Amino acid sequence: MAPIRCAQQERLAMAPMPSRPLTLTTPYTTGPDVRALQRAVNKRRKARHLNTIAVDGEWGPVTDDTVRETAWVLGIAKKRIAGSISPDIQLVIRKPELRDATQLARAKKRLEMLASSPEAVVKAALAHVGKTESPADSNRGPGIISRCQRAMLGYDGFFWCGAFVGYFLEKTGGVPISRKRMSTPLRSWPTRRPRSTGSPAGTRRLRPAPGTSPCSTGTRPTA
């Protein structure tokens, strides 16, 4: 490992160094070096399908947090960096080819973690915003509406909010979802007692009609 460290140090010495450490201050630190690092951070993040930040040359809270997260994603340090972002760290963010084998291995593992993170689950789900049932109020539809129900329940035509959430938790987040628990709400619709007798013997179970669901009617299913 020592030769690798030496080679990295040689490359760092040859590259033009950022001139100062950067951190959150009051008032915010500004300058061309902040702008250059913001551009570099956005380039690294776009390549990994992560959100980007404004390139305004100002080191505010968003820039501070995003730079630290980007350094973590790139595997630069063992843990999320606390304190100032040193010129060495800035340089590696701007020139990720300067990373050594240990840092590259960390980055690979962390990228795999990001692929199934809560943020990735939400992003995958948000890609389907605007999808509507067809026909209306049928709990069926093209693409994700019926697909998530069939994947999680084995059929479609009933409520799909729970199936939608479960589908992305399992598919993107890697969280195993119990099909038995997913189907429980269909067997847990409320019962209605006739007013004339008030007798438990007169209790009958209401079956959900197509197009209705615990999610849309406000009924709370047991799970």
Phi and psi of 41, rounded to 5°? -60, -45
The pTM of the full predicted model, rounded to 2 decimals, is 0.57
Judge whether residue 219 has pLDDT over 50.
no
Structure confidence at residue 76 as a pLDDT band (50, 70, 90):
very high
Lowest mean pLDDT among 71-75, 146-150, 203-207: 203-207
Residue 173: burial class (beta carbons within 10 Å; 0-12, 13-18, 19+): middle
Q: Does the pLDDT at position 217 exceed 60?
A: no
pLDDT-derived band at 198 (thresholds 50, 70, 90) equals very low
Spell out the residues 6+ positions from residue 166 whose beta carbon is closer than 8 angstroms to its own: 148, 152, 177, 182
